[in-house]
Structure 1
Amino acid sequence: MRTDKRKIVLVGTGMVGMSYAYSLLNQGVCDELVLIDINRKRAEGEAMDLNHGLAFSASHMKIYTGEYKDCSDADIVVICAGVAQKSGETRLDLLKRNAAVFQSIVRPVTESGFNGVFLVATNPVDIMTRITYSLSGFNPKRVIGSGTTLDTARLRYLLGDSLRVDPRNVHAYVMGEHGDSEFVPWSQAMIATKPILSLCEEEGVVCRGELERIEDEVRGAAYRIIEAKQATYYGIGMALTRITRAILGDENSVFTVSAMLKGEYGQSDVYAGVPCIINKNGIQRIISLSLTDDEMKQFQHSCDTFGKVLKAFYKEGRKRIGNKS
């Protein structure tokens, strides 16, 4: 990992990518930001627009449109490129189209000599991160998905609001798939060092029904946002920025990113959202929480849910791009 300057290459200048870029600029996270998009003209326009705001920022970032060769000395390559799910389209169909997009991205990035960390945001993010790992041949610790980082932030916000506690003092996680099968391991949820489940025994504080309501709201948040404004992008842009800061700052901070499991939680050769320590090398290690038997079953179900989609993708006879362990 280079330490003389902080360089990020962003692939995909759609709403998610540019929300991320805008957040990077406002927080002064990096020194150099390169924008790559199949629509180069759009990327050029986005670079111009960001540069015009530099005078109002504390940042001294160098922002420009580039090519895959510019990845050679980057610290992080962030992939936000992909196609949106069409009405009536299955997850398998979406996977096929996004897998083709990733083949056109990951190989030229690695061929440039890139030796940093991949950070993936494209959905279905757990599967697309697995595909990025397979295409790149990188150590899985250096291939990370945004996972359930944003879902975890939503959970802490809602819990903090319900319990009238600063969300920064809420320690709870959303695990598994970034999608419908994600779940909250309530046995591990705390306010400071007090288990939230113990609060259920204190009359007038919180009840299990309220926790279930919050979990359902977290799981359905994206659907409600999409219904209201057709897409989600600010939250994930800020989540990606926070993960980026942890990598560039060598923080050893904990986030529920999508990580390759090798026996943790009884799963192997699969990417899923789990608490991980993040530093300059990507995933320093996965934190294995002491889940209850029921929570382990929920995690198994979540992994099986997107695992079936990935297996179906391979079964259709497409080129295998994911059998490394």
Structure 2
Amino acid sequence: MDKKVTVIGSGNVGATAAQRLAEKELCDVVLIDIVEGMPQGKALDLTEAAPIEKHDAHVTGANGYEASKDSDIIIITAGIPRKPGMSRDDLISTNKGIMKSVVTEVAKYSPNAVLIIVSNPLDAMCHVAFEASGFPKNRVLGMAGVLDSARFRAFISMELNVSVENTHAFVLGGHGDTMVPLPRYSTVAGIPITELMPKERIDALVERTANGGAEIVSLLKTGSAFYAPASAAVEMAESILKDKKKILPCAAYLEGEYGINNLFIGVPVKLGTNGIEDIIQIKLTDDEKAALSKSADAVQELVEILKKSD
């Protein structure tokens, strides 16, 4: 393969992302994790599946960052989940340390890579990666909107009993309960969902989307979502690797767009070889602007907590 993607963190999200990348034959994949044997074992398992899945992508595992050298994309899933009794401030502080150390290393070995951040709290971790890498803003982005939009699309498909391929949805804002799904821009075969279902059903789907991650956590009880988050990160990577220039909602660093400054917020962007090639500004109603502003305020709170932990 002439492209290379390194996935940092070989837990459920990271390992599934590696599997999707390899099976789509998008690139060679390097899995990196601090746990000895884990990335090597998962990489070998994926390699042994290759003859059956019929792909020739090379998958390797490593505990050191040297293996990531000259990657086109780095997908970062490393970090700890929030544990019982742990405050949000503690979680941010711990994951900040992990993100800073990871990004400093990968930036050294792959100075021209695009960083796709998956670790939580996502919007805050994008800020850490941006500062630690010293990369331009177009090469640091967060995976959130693609996942949230996919959840919204799945719920629309279930509600209307139509193919998911016919559904399109947009979700803006931070990754969490302040996200802003936009029903006006969400369609089935080009028809706005506002024409296809009553407001109360749309509102219910919007609420379910905002709580999508929590719903899965409550069902699994001992973990969180990983299939859909991995797929979302890989869709972003594919658009960059193939220079597809897909318009996808991603956490991007805004400098005045949507009236927001110096914050990573989920907005529609064009993804190509250089990462974010354009930020698409769509017209919002007053209510949507207010909801996006509220979401930005929530992200700003996290950034303030980051600053305090310096």
TM-score normalised by L of structure 1: 0.90
Q: How does 1:1-325 map to 2 (within 5 A)?
A: 5-30=2-27, 32-66=28-62, 67-197=64-194, 199=195, 205-229=196-220, 230-314=223-307, 316=308, 318-319=309-310
- 1:231 is displaced (CA, Å) by 1.5
- 1:210 is displaced (CA, Å) by 0.3
What stretches of structure 1 move > 6 A for 4+ residues in a row? none
**Which secondary structure does the structure 2 equivalent of 1:73 belong to?**
coil
Gaps of 5+ in 1: 200-204, 320-325
Identity %, equivalent residues = 29
Decide whether the 8 Å contact of 2:22 with 2:58 is kept in 1: no
**Which secondary structure does the structure 1 equivalent of 2:60 belong to?**
strand
**Which secondary structure does the structure 2 equivalent of 1:78 belong to?**
strand
Deviates further, 105-114 or 217-226 = 105-114
- 1:127 is displaced (CA, Å) by 1.0
- 1:132 is displaced (CA, Å) by 0.4
Decide whether the 8 Å contact of 2:72 with 2:110 is kept in 1: no
Q: What is the distance in 1 between the residues matched to 2:231 and 2:106? A: 24
Decide whether the 8 Å contact of 2:13 with 2:77 is kept in 1: yes
Decide whether the 8 Å contact of 1:187 with 1:291 is kept in 2: no
- 1:8 is displaced (CA, Å) by 0.7
- 1:160 is displaced (CA, Å) by 2.3
Q: Deviations over 1:131-187 (max 9, x none)?
A: 101111101110111022111011112112223333333332111111111121223
Decide whether the 8 Å contact of 2:263 with 2:299 is kept in 1: no
Q: Which amino acid is the alignment partner of residue 271 of structure 2?
A: I
Q: Which amino acid is the alignment partner of residue 227 of structure 1?
A: S
Q: What is the distance in 2 between the residues matched to 1:312 and 1:142? A: 24
- 1:71 is displaced (CA, Å) by 2.9
Decide whether the 8 Å contact of 1:72 with 1:114 is kept in 2: no
Q: Which amino acid is the alignment partner of residue 293 of structure 1?
A: D
Q: What is the distance in 2 between the residues matched to 1:274 and 1:182? A: 11
- 1:129 is displaced (CA, Å) by 1.1
Q: What is the distance in 2 between the residues matched to 1:151 and 1:207? A: 21
Decide whether the 8 Å contact of 2:15 with 2:31 is kept in 1: no
Deviates further, 70-79 or 158-167 = 158-167
**Which secondary structure does the structure 2 equivalent of 1:40 belong to?**
coil
Q: Which amino acid is the alignment partner of residue 204 of structure 2?
A: R
TM-score normalised by L of structure 2: 0.95
Decide whether the 8 Å contact of 2:243 with 2:273 is kept in 1: yes
**Which secondary structure does the structure 1 equivalent of 2:284 belong to?**
coil
Q: Deviations over 1:205-235 (max 9, x none)?
A: 4100000000111111211211111221011
- 1:23 is displaced (CA, Å) by 1.5
- Count residues in correspondence: 307
Q: What is the distance in 1 between the residues matched to 2:164 and 2:270? A: 20
Q: What is the distance in 1 between the residues matched to 2:101 and 2:266? A: 25
Decide whether the 8 Å contact of 1:28 with 1:58 is kept in 2: no
Q: Do the aligned partners of residues 18 and 207 (structure 1) sit closer, same or farther apart at CA in structure 2, a change above 3 Å counting?
A: same
How well do the aligned residues superpose, as a CA RMSD in angstroms? 1.5
Deviates further, 47-56 or 94-103 = 47-56
Q: Deviations over 1:261-294 (max 9, x none)?
A: 1111110110011111111111111111111011
Gaps of 5+ in 2: none
Decide whether the 8 Å contact of 2:96 with 2:306 is kept in 1: no
